[in-house]
Amino acid sequence: AQTVTQSQPEMSVQEAETVTLSCTYDTSESDYYLFWYKQPPSRQMILVIRQEAYKQQNATENRFSVNFQKAAKSFSLKISDSQLGDAAMYFCAYRDTSGTYKYIFGTGTRLKVLA
Amino acid sequence: DAGITQSPRHKVTETGTPVTLRCHQTENHRYMYWYRQDPGHGLRLIHYSYGVKDTDKGEVSDGYSVSRSKTEDFLLTLESATSSQTSVYFCAISVGTGGPDTQYFGPGTRLTVL
């Protein structure tokens, strides 16, 4: 069965600095999707970035980028120029293309941004 | 905002009572999901639906049932609520141009079972 692991329960970053959140996953599939979601104190789950496994190029969305290492089954999120509004829980998620359309989530990393 | 609403947003109930949570979407998406979120566990899938009257179990389905009689509504029922079902419940839809490849979430329902 597929699994998603976020080994950092909590991280801190100074405002304007860069931070990287780690995510590893386990799958025997070759084609799948990976996601990062942000959950601020409002509790709303917000899609941050999405990566398709067949694409070698790392996805980027403004200050957010990923480092996708398919062979290592690693999918880290880099936040550049951190802002106070980036403080939130961040969840890594996986979905394969086998047809079940189920998503698997990691346990989350709480990011604190220090002024 | 993917046009997903959940009701109620907050509920307090007593052990043994039935509870139904509603998820409503406005854009006729085929795939809908129910998750629960608990500290240290992330989001865990309870049930999901891939069409009207088509549903399947997730990893934590015991004690929960679902129904989908219309495309826009996906109901989650706790037949006899227990304290272990105190949680935050999220509904989600899955959309994409080539298939249901990205999930979007409702605002969540906080359920407390006393």
Q: What is the pLDDT of residues A10-59, one digit of tens each?
A: 999 999 999 999 999 999 888 899 999 999 999 999 999 999 998 888 99
Taken in order A77, A94, B51, B48, the sign of the CA dihedral is: negative
Which of B40, B43, B50 minimises the CB distance to A91? B43
Residue A105 to residue B99, Cβ atoms within 8 A:
no
Residue of A5, A43, A47 to mutate for B, most B C-beta atoms under 10 A: A43
Model confidence at B86: pLDDT above 70: yes
Secondary structure class of A64 (helix, strand, coil): strand
Dig out the tokens for A25 from the structure: 């996953």
Other CB atoms within a 10 A radius of the CB of residue A1 amount to 7
Model confidence at B109: pLDDT above 70: yes
- Nearest chain B CA: its distance from A79 CA (Å): 21
pLDDT digit string, tens, across residues A48-95: 999 999 888 899 999 999 999 999 999 999 999 999 999 999 999 999
Which of B31, B43, B104 minimises the CB distance to A101? B31
Residue A102 to residue B31, Cβ atoms within 8 A:
no
Decide if B31 touches A, using CB distance below 8 A: yes
Rounded Cα–Cα distance for residues B24 and B17 (Å): 23
Residue B41 to residue A47, Cβ atoms within 8 A:
no
Residue B88 to residue A93, Cβ atoms within 8 A:
no
pLDDT digit string, tens, across residues B18-58: 999 999 999 888 899 999 999 888 899 999 999 998 999 99
What is the DSSP code (8-state) at residue A58? P
B75 bridge partner residues? B22, B67
pLDDT at B96: 74
Q: What is the average pLDDT across B60-83?
A: 96
Which of A33, A43, A106 minimises the CB distance to B101? A33
Instruction: With cut-offs at 50, 70 and 90, classify the pLDDT of residue B74.
Output: very high
Q: Under 8 Å CB-to-CB from A33, ≥6 apart: which residues?
A: A50, A51, A52, A53, A94, A95, A96, A97, B101, B102
Rounded Cα–Cα distance for residues A115 and B3 (Å): 35
Decide if B43 touches A, using CB distance below 8 A: yes
Question: Nearest to residue B21, comparing CAs of B3, B53, B47, B50?
Answer: B47
Cβ atoms of A15 and A72 within 8 Å: the answer is: no
